[in-house]
Amino acid sequence: MELLDVTTTPAWSALLAVERPASLRYLFDADPDRGRRMVVECADLRIDWSKHLVDDDVVAALLAVARAAGVEAHRDAMLRGDRINTTEGRSVLHTALRLPRDATLVVDGVDVVAEVHAVLDSMGAFAERVRADERITDVVNIGIGGSDLGPAMAARALAADAHPRIRTHFVSNVDGADITATLAGLEPAATLFVVSSKTFTTIETLTNARTARAWLTAALGDAAVAEHFVAVSTNAEQVAAFGIDTANMFGFWDWVGGRYSVDSAIGLSLMISIGPDRFRELLDGFHAVDEHFRTAPLEANAPVLLAMLGVWYVDVLGWRSKAVLPYAQELARFPAYLQQLDMESNGKSVRRDGTPVTAGTGPVVWGEPGTNGQHAFYQLLHQGTQVVPVDMIGFAHPHHPHRHHHDLLVANLLAQAEALAFGRANELEPHRHFPGGRPSTMILADRLTPSVLGQLIALYEHIVFVQGVVWGINSFDQWGVELGKELANRITPELTGETAVGGHDSSTTALIEWYRERRLSG
């Protein structure tokens, strides 16, 4: 698709020129209905965006920018399978992973929906076998990045649906402390390893998988690998080279980006935990939001509205950090998941054609569950010199029986949004002055079900997509992770003494020598 620089359009100039609302207090006083009017329903999510520093003129200007950037045309191009990941020459079809069985989507002459459901069926059959096999009590997913964060986050989020016998573990870090701690509590004969790697070349994952295999075979012999190891990958050749029979491999496709893959076979460990039926509900939740994104007019399109609010903050108000604050302990890993989704997608400085970006791009994303964060960093959110827009997520019903805890939790959720927005003036005691004017999105749902989790993930996927379109970047590559990997490969043999230290700056050379001396002297 044609690459337009939206910052050269009249819509962008109009956005920069639009009058900025004085305060949230002023906006609410001027429109008593604001708190009900500026709410968008997106599948089962109730999204209150009234506590954002925008009025109708700003929203109109933001939506004009979205239109000028061609958000709708780009969305349609993604959904039909155009090769919008131009630097890697790939389609971007994570939305096809959740199309219903009776849908069809033909890309390059292949019905991808049929392929997706064939894999889902074989995952389902395998998951049921494991769930019925009394000998297996522990499943260890070995992967990193998109091959870890999605299933790890979701398995924790959906712990209420977990199989009572099966414990699910996630090993990602090449730091041996990770796998050592995980294996310490496990029985080889009762453990299934799921090695998850799109490329099957990722050093962290292969190193952990080799260590796990050595641990297993030391106890049960080489023949046990066939029964205790399965792989999830797009790279059958490397899976076979590692020693896993490709009959025990679950595949996916190059059109699924790592950080968009939790709903592909990368979700196998999650599916074993929650079962194929709940996994299907998760996919249906994703699909419901995909349909909303595809069909809702921009004025009522949740991902578009939230994405454009982000553009307002990053590019007009200069607020380049964003916190995600789930008021649900089960979503403890959701901020980390969103860090990869957003920052690996939109942390870019060049546009799709390689020219420099002409606006600020992806914000720094971070967060912790409430109420823990309140006793850590909310001080800065309320009174710091930088404004950090926040997303708050909460539920009407908990999965535990302690309603009193939940009432307190929800009271804190609502109180924090109110305090951030409206503050409290105290001219006499400046230290106790709360300026307010700090925006938040409030995302509520009845309870955290698999479907609602799918809805939440899809919502953020599409927010990231829309922002990438506005900024003219390719949200689906990640070249920025390559250089560090390459240098680490060079430094490893220098640390062990296999190769001489050379070709580095004086700092790096001295650091390598520091480690090497200590390593060699034991």
Residues belonging to the active site = 344, 375, 485
Radius of gyration from C-alpha coordinates of the chain: 24
Structure tokens at 473: 């970047």
For the CB of residue 495, give the shortest distance to ligand F6P in the complex, in Å.
22
Pick 346 or 440: Cβ nearer ligand F6P: 346
Cβ proximity to ligand F6P, 201 vs 496, nearer residue: 201
Helices then strands, each counted (H, E), the chain? 20, 13
- 147: contact with ligand F6P by CB under 6 A: yes
Among the candidate windows 198-206, 301-309, 447-455, 494-502, which touches ligand F6P by CB under 6 A? 198-206
Q: Which of 481, 487, 510, 520 binds ligand F6P (CB under 6 A)?
A: 481
Q: Which residues lie closer than 8 Å to 340 by C-beta, 6 or more apart?
A: 145, 146, 149, 259
* C-beta separation of 358 from 7 below 8 A: yes
Q: Does 113 bind ligand F6P (CB under 6 A)?
A: no
Question: CB under 6 A: which stretch of 33-41, 145-153, 314-322, 512-520 binds ligand F6P?
Answer: 145-153
Burial of 419 (0-12, 13-18, 19+ CB in 10 A): middle
Helix (H) or strand (E) holding 408: helix 403-422
Q: Is residue 209 a contact point for ligand F6P (CB under 6 A)?
A: no
**110: CB partners within 8 A, 6+ apart:** none
**Interface with ligand F6P, residue 151, by CB under 6 A:** no
What is the rounded distance in angstroms from the CA atom of residue 464 to the CA atom of residue 476?
A: 10
CB of residue 331 to ligand F6P, shortest distance in Å:
20
Choice from 90, 259, 278, 322 touching ligand F6P (CB under 6 A): 259
Contact call for residue 363 and ligand F6P (CB under 6 A): no
Structure tokens at 235: 């790279």
**Contact predicate 273/158, CB 8 Å:** yes
Q: Coil, strand or helix: which one is 472?
A: coil
Question: Please, are residues 388 and 438 in contact by the beta-carbon 8 Å criterion?
Answer: yes
Minimum distance, C-beta of residue 289 to ligand F6P, in the bound complex (Å)? 22
Alpha-carbon distance values, 372 to 326, 379, 403, 420, 432 (Å):
10, 12, 19, 17, 22
Q: Does 449 bind ligand F6P (CB under 6 A)?
A: no
Task: Note whether 455 binds ligand F6P by CB under 6 A.
Answer: no
When binding is defined by CB under 6 A, the residue of 7, 168, 172, 205 that contacts ligand F6P is 205
> What's phi and psi for 107, nearest 5 deg?
-125, 125
Contact flag: residue 450 with ligand F6P (CB under 6 A): no
Binding mask 323-352 for ligand F6P (x = CB under 6 A): ---------------------x--------
- C-beta of 231 vs 443, nearer to ligand F6P: 231
| Pick 313 or 337: Cβ nearer ligand F6P | 337
Among 146, 310, 326, 362, which residue sits at the site for ligand F6P (rule: CB under 6 A)? 146
Tell the smallest beta-carbon distance from residue 499 to ligand F6P (Å).
25
Q: How far is CA 65 from the centre of its chain?
A: 25
Q: For residues 270 and 390, which CB has a smaller minimum distance to ligand F6P in the complex?
A: 270
* Side-chain half-sphere CA neighbours of 184 within 13 A: 7
Residue 193 or 422 with smaller CB distance to ligand F6P: 193
Q: Is 278 in the site for ligand F6P (CB under 6 A)?
A: no
> Site for ligand F6P (CB under 6 A): which residue of 54, 144, 152, 387?
144
Does residue number 208 form part of the binding site for ligand F6P (CB under 6 A)?
no
Distances (CA, A) of 330 to 6, 147, 162, 365: 39, 19, 12, 19
Q: Does 199 bind ligand F6P (CB under 6 A)?
A: yes
Q: Region of 480 please: left (phi>0), alpha (psi -120 to 50) or beta.
A: alpha
CA–CA separation, 389 and 313 (whole Å): 8
In angstroms, what CA-CA distances link 419 with 221, 319, 374, 411, 438?
Answer: 61, 19, 12, 12, 9
Is residue 508 part of the contact set for ligand F6P (CB under 6 A)?
no
Contact flag: residue 110 with ligand F6P (CB under 6 A): no
Instruction: Supply the minimum distance, in Å, between the C-beta of residue 86 and ligand F6P.
Output: 17
Q: Rule CB under 6 A: is residue 264 a binding residue for ligand F6P? A: no
Three-state SS annotation for 234-282: CCHHHHHHHCCCHHHEEECCCCCCHHHCCCCHHHHHHHHHHHHHHHHHH
Q: Which stretch binds ligand F6P (CB under 6 A): 67-75, 83-91, 191-199, 218-226?
A: 191-199
Residue 513 CB, shortest distance to ligand F6P, in Å, is: 29
Contact region with ligand F6P (CB under 6 A), list: 157-165, 193-201, 240-248, 300-308: 193-201
CB of 251 to ligand F6P, least distance (A): 13
Q: Nearest 5 degrees, angle CA 114-CA 475-CA 278? A: 40
Name the closest residue to ligand F6P (Cβ): 258
Q: What are phi and psi of 251, to 5 degrees?
A: -100, 165
Residues in the site for ligand F6P, rule: CB under 6 A? 144-147, 197-199, 202, 205, 258-259, 344, 478, 481
